């Protein structure tokens, strides 16, 4: 199967293969964010206690979140490296490599010793594994999104492209559910060995994703672009920097807004609930488990809407909602007396705000770039935004809470500022629905907007 091209498949076989692509995109993204969310939750609840112990809890938490940021700082390098390879040798091969790199590092984290056992070697090992994890993850979502978009029928590209986005939240759901279970252990058992179980269990997802991806063919848009551009070899990196940087700004802006709102819920909230509001350590994981489940259901709905009304209106709706809701969000959480009210706030923030911003991205970001530089451009600009906002959001939020005496208004203003950046980028950017993904020049790509082939 791996040696066939999609042109050689019968209509029935092509439809079956598209379903396999959906599954491959979903499972791969699920693994990526299962791994990354495990780390984010462990950084908030575990690593600050056993890898970075200190008499100052805030210092320990900042050090722990610092290693979380390292993974995001490395991701642009992974996006550049593997994105360039994806534009030169194909999407499928690169996605197999990133899967193995990312998965192996996560399993390794289950074996990291504590500071009490080996001293400074413990944080060193954790940082190395985190960097390797970030390197592989830097091209995983971008590659999965491109694969889903390039195999899709143009009129259903938004809906089809929702597969990797749903995978992201299924991965987070699995990870948050796993942590919600192990945090119910007695604290000494949880810190000694319970937290390691979800990391080790990722080997099962790796095996499933690898089997599926090995059976895929190469993307038809990539094959067509290869044929069109054989006579004019252009570096994908040079092209996205010189001629497609405007598309990169749209990716950066929308990703900035989505990252800040998402990581407010996914990573910072667990620490804020336990350390500032002194709620149970299980409150955050439980709220995120419910919130991610609702978001996973909402994503295909919003993605399908982008096929009807366009990518920009849905993304802008999510940005505007997130900016308007952030102060009510914190008011509810700061006055919460039960985990139910916290969960409701998370569900609304993630299900509507993040859902609207994230749902268009696979189709929208793929349609912004030409075929011969798509992987490089999407992965590079998306992961640069991740390094700036995804990696730093927990650190910034913790510092803002400390600077405001344990209050949340500073974090709320930070969220609004990120939404302003995202709103300007998307508002000034183009509508892309219906573009020809096999187009190899910027002019041809723009001219194909609104057409269905």
pLDDT-derived band at 1, boundaries 50, 70, 90: very low
Mean pLDDT, residues 146-173 taken together: 87
- The pLDDT assigned to 229 comes to 57
Asked if pLDDT for residue 315 goes beyond 90, the answer is: yes
Mean pLDDT, residues 196-209 taken together: 86
In a domain, 452, yes or no: no
Q: How far apart are CA 405 and CA 411, in angstroms?
A: 12
In a domain, 453, yes or no: no
In a domain, 9, yes or no: no
Q: Is the CB of residue 312 less than 8 Å from the CB of residue 428? A: no
Residue range of the domain that includes 418: 17-221+234-447
Total domains present in the chain: 1
In a domain, 6, yes or no: no
Asked if pLDDT for residue 2 goes beyond 50, the answer is: no
Burial tier of 8 (Cβ tally within 10 Å: 0-12, 13-18, 19+): exposed
Q: Is the CB of residue 321 less than 8 Å from the CB of residue 353? A: yes
Mean pLDDT, residues 122-149 taken together: 86
Query: Where residue 277 sits, what CATH number does that domain have?
Result: 1.20.1250.20
Q: Pull the structure tokens for residue 315.
A: 């993304």
In a domain, 4, yes or no: no
From the CA atom positions of the chain, what is the Rg in Å? Answer: 21
In a domain, 287, yes or no: yes
In a domain, 228, yes or no: no
- The pLDDT assigned to 3 comes to 38
In a domain, 5, yes or no: no
User: What is the DSSP-derived secondary structure letter of residue 1?
Assistant: -
């Amino acid at each position: 199967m791996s040696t066939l091209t999609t042109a050689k498949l019968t209509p029935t076989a092509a439809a079956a293969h598209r379903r396999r692509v959906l599954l491959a995109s979903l499972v791969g993204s699920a693994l990526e964010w299962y791994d990354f969310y495990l780390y984010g939750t462990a950084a908030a609840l575990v690593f600050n206690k056993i890898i970075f112990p200190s008499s100052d809890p805030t210092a320990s938490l900042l050090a722990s979140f610092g290693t979380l940021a390292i993974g995001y700082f490395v991701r642009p390098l992974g996006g550049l490296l593997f994105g360039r390879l994806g534009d030169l040798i194909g999407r499928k091969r690169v996605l197999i490599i990133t899967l193995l790199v990312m998965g192996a590092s996560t399993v390794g984290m289950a074996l990291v010793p504590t500071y009490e056992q080996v001293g400074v070697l413990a944080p060193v090992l954790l940082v190395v594994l985190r960097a390797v994890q970030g390197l592989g993850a830097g091209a995983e979502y971008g590659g999965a999104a491109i694969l889903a978009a390039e195999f899709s029928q143009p009129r259903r590209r938004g809906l089809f492209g929702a597969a990797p986005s749903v995978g992201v939240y299924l991965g987070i759901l699995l990870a948050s559910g796993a942590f919600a279970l192990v945090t119910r252990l007695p604290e000494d058992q949880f810190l000694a060995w319970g937290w390691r179980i979800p990391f080790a269990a990722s080997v099962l997802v790796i095996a499933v994703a690898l089997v599926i991806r090995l059976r895929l063919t190469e993307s038809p848009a990539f094959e067509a672009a290869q044929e069109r551009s054989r006579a004019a070899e252009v570096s994908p990196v040079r092209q996205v920097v010189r001629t497609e940087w405007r598309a990169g700004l749209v990716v950066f802006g929308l990703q900035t807004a989505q990252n800040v709102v998402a990581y407010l819920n996914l990573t910072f909230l667990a620490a804020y609930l336990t350390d500032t509001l002194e709620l149970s350590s299980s409150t955050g994981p439980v709220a995120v488990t419910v919130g991610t489940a609702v978001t996973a259901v909402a994503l295909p709905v919003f993605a399908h809407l982008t096929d009807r009304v366009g990518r920009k209106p849905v993304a802008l709706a999510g940005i505007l909602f997130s900016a308007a809701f952030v102060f009510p969000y914190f008011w509810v959480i700061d006055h919460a007396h039960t985990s139910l009210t916290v969960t409701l706030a998370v569900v609304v923030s993630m299900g509507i705000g993040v859902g609207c911003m994230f749902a268009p991205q696979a189709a929208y970001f793929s349609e912004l770039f030409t075929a011969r530089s798509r992987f490089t451009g999407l992965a590079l600009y998306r992961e640069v935004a991740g390094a700036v906002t995804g990696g730093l959001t927990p650190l910034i939020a913790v510092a803002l809470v400390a600077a405001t005496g344990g209050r949340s208004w500073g974090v709320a203003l930070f969220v609004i500022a990120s939404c302003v950046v995202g709103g300007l980028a998307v508002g000034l950017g183009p509508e892309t629905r219906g573009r020809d993904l096999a187009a190899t020049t910027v002019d041809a790509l723009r001219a194909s907007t609104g057409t269905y082939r």
